Structure 1
Amino acid sequence: MTDLKRLLRYLGPYRRDMVIGALLVVIETAFELFIPLLMADLIDVGVKNHDVPYILQQGVYMGICALLSLVTGLLYARFAARAAYGWGARIREAQYQKVQGFAFSNLDHFESSSLVTRMTTDVTVLQNAVNGGFRPMVRGPVMLVMGVGLSFWMNPTLALVFLVCAPLLGAALFYILRKIAPLYSLLQRAVDRLNGTVQEGLTAIRAVKAFVRGEYEEEKFQEVNTSLMETSQKTFQYAVLNLPAFQLVMYVCVILIMWFGGNMILNSTLQVGELTGFLSYVFQVMNSMMMISNVFLLLTRSLASAHRIGQVLEEQPAFSSPEQPVGQVRDGSVDFDRVFFKYKPEAQEYALSDVSLSIKAGQTVGVLGGTGSAKTTLVQLIPRLYDASRGTVRVGGRDVRDYDLRALRDAVGIVLQKNVLFSGTIRENLLWGNPEADDDTLWEACRKARADEFIERLPKGMDTDLGQGGVNVSGGQKQRLCIARTLLKKPKVLIFDDSTSAVDTATEGEIREALAKLTDVTKIIIAQRITSVMDTDQIIILDDGRIHGTGTHRELLEKDSIYQEIYASQMKGEED
């Protein structure tokens, strides 16, 4: 319930709609409960005395009550829909905004498919709970209290039947809720797995077709789909017990009332109209109890979804800007001082160990190392995508933790190892680097990244649609567009994380030549090809998260065994 109460704070301006909706339900219920009293008088007075005007009068009153009840019900539907969908929109917005503030370490706690489910399916569950459950949640208790009260007022003896039926209904509800409460969490996790499989399969559909693995992917999907089906069946086979259990108790109650009420009519201690009106209250009381039980079922599922949403909203960003941040990066110098890093505090080994190095502003530095040597991890500490576990990382002579995050990341441009383009045109993707850039600025960045040559050949040029994830361009073209987008930021530190691996050697040379003219920018190049870094001012060799050696190409070729091995394996054919 704590999670649900916390989420109710996001009602904001829709709290008023919720209150008005609750008042309308109370008024609607009052009108409905007044009808059996009018019906009892109609039978016992009008029918018994053959008083047609009185019958018509009571009939008009009953019609007015029914009409007013209908009008208030329709008004409630309007206010409830506004409250439910407005609340859901605010919760989605809050989750999305929260995720934008997460560090990489926060994102490691959630799978992307799970975040999608929490922002869609789980929020929809809460919306349905309000849209479909708010009315019975208010109406049920009001009808129950008023119905039982009026039943005792009409005939206290017959009303004692409720004292027998209520414990039976309570026991049935308790059994059902106890069974399904843990199953709802399993159900949402099954939806997570299904979404993850669908997302992965559709994202990699070209690889699936290339390797003719369609049948394997179908089997994998069938497995998670069947798991979701079985979990749903198991969950709702208990939930559907609610209706037959309540109907059984309700009809037993009606039979008992008819039996005892009939005998009371025969003994002249009860009139037919009173029994008819009393039965109406019985049905209303039983329906109210069924409404309450359905609310409990909706609430049980809502609590599971609210807990999952709450986990996202409660997740505290691993780091944020300090209270009095530095708003500007002086220059592009980068220093690592006895830096240790591990992805999780409980991890036994460090991904980076005792890293100390100094990169002067304007230098071009290459980073080499084998797979898993933590090259990417090293550069991710510079724009503070992760924070060092121990030691200090400095940019522009200041600890990165002293900077405003936005200012630091604007000053550090990074072309990630996994190139990401968004749905839209080339122009829209490039403007991510600088929303104010004009066409001349865009083309200048594209020329430096050697992306202009293929953009000019496209029929629509900059206005060519890239498709979802940039599927309409090749891997090398993606990399060049990502480089151009980063250059538009005009950063003080420029990081290339193996970002020319899909580009041919000649084009890569042209890109390096263009970047060499940026003398006021510090360039850090992670590469697999030794030719990409051999002309840099300094080369850093990483081995298992430690610095194995630093120096120029000539210095490392003389003294560093790993560099010698890389050079021998890659340059042997060229020397021959």
Structure 2
Amino acid sequence: MGDLVLIRLLRTHLRPYRQELTIVLVLQLIGTVASLYLPSLNADIIDFGVVRGDTGYILKTGGWMLTVTVLQILCSGGAVFFSARAAMGFGRDVRAAVFSRVGQFSAREVAQFGAPSLITRTTNDVQQVQLLVVLVCTVLVTAPIMCVAGIVLALREDVGLSWLLLVCVPVLLIAIGLIVTRMVPQFRLMQERIDQVNRVLREQLSGIRVVRAFVRERAETQRFGAANTTLTDTALRVGRLQALIFPTVMLILNASSVAVLWFGSHRVDAGEMQIGALTAFLNYLLQILASVMMATFISIMIPRAAVCAERLNEVLDTESSVRPPLAPVRELRAHGQVEFRGVEFRYPGAAEPVLRDISFQARAGTTTAIVGSTGAGKTTLLSLVPRLIDVTAGEVLVDGVDVRELDPDVLWQRIGLVPQRAYLFTGTVASNLRYGNPDATDEELWEALEIAQAKDFVEAMTGGLEATIAQGGTNVSGGQRQRLAIARALVRRPEVYLFDDSFSALDLATDAALRRALRPHTRDAAVVVVAQRVSTILDADRILVLDNGSIVGAGTHHELLATCPTYQEIVHSQLTPEEAA
């Protein structure tokens, strides 16, 4: 199964490099013919030059051998060049295909594979298949031709020693086959162990502050050590099997050479064979066994490459649960309106839905707040609007059109999302803000920063808008990351704002100032806010209370205080009676 998947992957992504592969094939054929011609010339020098003492014949034939050798070197060098070119292009295309497919995944598929595994597949797995492509181009063409032609030419030199071929070649094939079959499951296990090490390392680097805060360095070191040890043990088992191949090959190779010399010398002594023919037969036998040995390189790489190809195809063959529409709607009449109609969302295999029978509208110029206990489904609900995930029942409409029927670019241009975890990219403050609008001017950036209460600390940073931002925004505080993420959404000037608990890292004064500054900027847009702090959404036009995936209350703050027990519990747990009133 793995071999078929590997062949399919190679056939699909090597198609653009047919020209390079054709050149490699031609060069390998010429080089192989030259290599097979050399033992015959060597035999002629011994039998017709050395034995007869004909120096002129020796020089003439030796010069011809030198010419053939130079041709062989040029063909080999050219074949390696073009095969490497094809292999590097293949690796680039496969990485691009995997990256493109992962970019289409919803949050469900990303969680299914896991970020560390996707990284390993895009890097290590592609590299293993890429290495196989180089070996296939440089070895796979040469090995079978040299093996078959070598047998024919060896028999032409002397049929009496042909039985050695019938013994040596099958013995070598059986010995290598037994070793390789034991390597296949170990290769699969090794890729899984690499995933595990990457996962542990990623968790430790991402959660380094938590590790240090709870003084868990020793425990995390032990956890990484356990994962590292399992990978090392698996790699050692694979290494032992690989190390066994070459002594086995050399043993059979040397035993075959001794056998040819032993039995061939008796035939020379009996006058049934010439010395040059014996030398040529030995060379051809060594070439035959060398071709088998070269094929072992392929046999070593194929199992691991097949496992890697399976893992790559798992990604490439996985369709996103968020599929683009067949006939996308590109024009909308209404502006800034979000509507949920009987929405349900259920994870595959889950006994109960995360969301059930969710229906509400968020109109332009209004603020709709969503509150609820942890795990109530608030973030899941918000993720349905930009199609990070898709509903399993019901409809989510933006400006009167089901988001599943909207052109993705049209949908995303109308939405400004500030996620629960504010993420910044490596670059500058300006490059991160222009992520929402590449054409934004510096004045627009400063305006967005001022509204997001981020202008002061950006001005204090070295370089201002050109200040460096580290990967993930780790060189700024959590509150600063949130404000920069809010500014990024403001720069886009969308018609629908989605704030997923985007004010949690702000102090109350900054929170209040930011919300005051936001009102005039978002007065013509629909604003949907997920909040943990009730104080953030007291003045919302409408508040939805989620409990266990269902809406258990809807209304203004004062209406819910009078009618919704769940909302009353949330409010009383955070505010005093005077603040709640």
TM-score range, shorter chain: over 0.9
* 1:105 paired to 2:113: no
Aligned mates of 1:452, 1:414 — CA distance in 2 = 20
Give the alignment of 1:469-484 within 5 angstroms. 469-484=472-487
* 1:548 paired to 2:552: yes
SS in 1 for 2:14: helix
State which of 523, 527, 533 in structure 1 corresponds to 2:531.
527
* 1:464 paired to 2:472: no
**Residue equivalent to 1:437:** 440
Letter in 1 for 2:114: E
**Residue equivalent to 2:54:** 51
SS in 2 for 1:2: helix
Letter in 1 for 2:341: D
**Residue equivalent to 2:337:** 333
* 1:487 paired to 2:490: yes
Letter in 2 for 1:280: N
TM-score by length of 1: 0.97
* 1:93 paired to 2:96: yes
CA contact (8 A) 1:102 1:318 kept: yes
My pick for the range that moved more, 191-200 or 204-213, is 204-213
Aligned mates of 2:502, 2:537 — CA distance in 1 = 13
Aligned mates of 1:39, 1:195 — CA distance in 2 = 55
State which of 259, 266, 269 in structure 1 corresponds to 2:262.
259
Deviation of 1:574 (Å): 5.5
**Residue equivalent to 1:391:** 394
Deviation of 1:573 (Å): 7.5
Letter in 1 for 2:513: E
SS in 2 for 1:368: strand
CA contact (8 A) 2:358 2:551 kept: yes
Letter in 2 for 1:157: G
**Residue equivalent to 1:145:** 148
Aligned mates of 1:394, 1:451 — CA distance in 2 = 33
* 1:306 paired to 2:309: yes
* 1:219 paired to 2:205: no
Deviation of 1:229 (Å): 0.6
Letter in 2 for 1:171: I
Task: Flag as ranges the 4+ runs of structure 1 deviating above 4 A.
Answer: 573-576
Aligned mates of 1:494, 1:503 — CA distance in 2 = 19
My pick for the range that moved more, 523-532 or 160-169, is 160-169
**Residue equivalent to 1:425:** 428
For residues 247-286 of structure 1, give each alpha carbon's deviation from its aligned partner in whole angstroms, at most 9, with x where no partner exists. Answer: 2222222222222211111111111111111101111111
CA contact (8 A) 1:113 1:195 kept: yes
SS in 2 for 1:336: strand
**Residue equivalent to 1:69:** 72
The number of residue pairs the alignment matches comes to 575
Deviation of 1:81 (Å): 1.5
State which of 319, 323, 330 in structure 1 corresponds to 2:322.
319
Aligned mates of 2:324, 2:272 — CA distance in 1 = 80
Aligned mates of 2:120, 2:18 — CA distance in 1 = 26
* 1:29 paired to 2:41: no
Aligned mates of 2:116, 2:443 — CA distance in 1 = 40
Give the alignment of 1:158-177 within 5 angstroms. 158-177=161-180
**Residue equivalent to 1:568:** 572
TM-score by length of 2: 0.96
CA contact (8 A) 1:11 1:90 kept: no
My pick for the range that moved more, 416-425 or 194-203, is 194-203
Letter in 2 for 1:312: V
SS in 1 for 2:395: strand
Letter in 2 for 1:85: M
**Residue equivalent to 1:538:** 542
Letter in 1 for 2:412: R
Letter in 2 for 1:555: E
Q: Structure 2: give runs of 5+ residues left out of the alignment.
A: none
Letter in 2 for 1:28: G
Letter in 2 for 1:358: Q
SS in 1 for 2:200: helix
Aligned mates of 1:402, 1:211 — CA distance in 2 = 48
SS in 2 for 1:393: strand
Deviation of 1:150 (Å): 0.1
Aligned mates of 1:72, 1:274 — CA distance in 2 = 27
SS in 2 for 1:456: helix
Aligned mates of 2:219, 2:322 — CA distance in 1 = 41
State which of 244, 247, 252 in structure 2 corresponds to 1:244.
247
SS in 1 for 2:421: coil
State which of 18, 22, 26 in structure 1 corresponds to 2:21.
18
State which of 190, 203, 206 in structure 2 corresponds to 1:187.
190
Aligned mates of 1:65, 1:252 — CA distance in 2 = 30
Letter in 2 for 1:381: L
**Residue equivalent to 2:8:** 6
SS in 2 for 1:160: helix
Aligned mates of 2:204, 2:22 — CA distance in 1 = 45
For residues 313-346 of structure 1, give each alpha carbon's deviation from its aligned partner in whole angstroms, at most 9, with x where no partner exists. Answer: 11112132222211144222222222111122x2
CA contact (8 A) 1:328 1:408 kept: no
Aligned mates of 2:112, 2:128 — CA distance in 1 = 23
**Residue equivalent to 2:285:** 282
Aligned mates of 1:349, 1:569 — CA distance in 2 = 28
CA contact (8 A) 1:27 1:69 kept: yes
Aligned mates of 1:342, 1:236 — CA distance in 2 = 46
My pick for the range that moved more, 192-201 or 478-487, is 192-201
**Residue equivalent to 2:41:** 38
SS in 2 for 1:356: strand
Aligned mates of 1:422, 1:61 — CA distance in 2 = 63
**Residue equivalent to 1:229:** 232
My pick for the range that moved more, 329-338 or 261-270, is 329-338
Aligned mates of 1:387, 1:178 — CA distance in 2 = 44
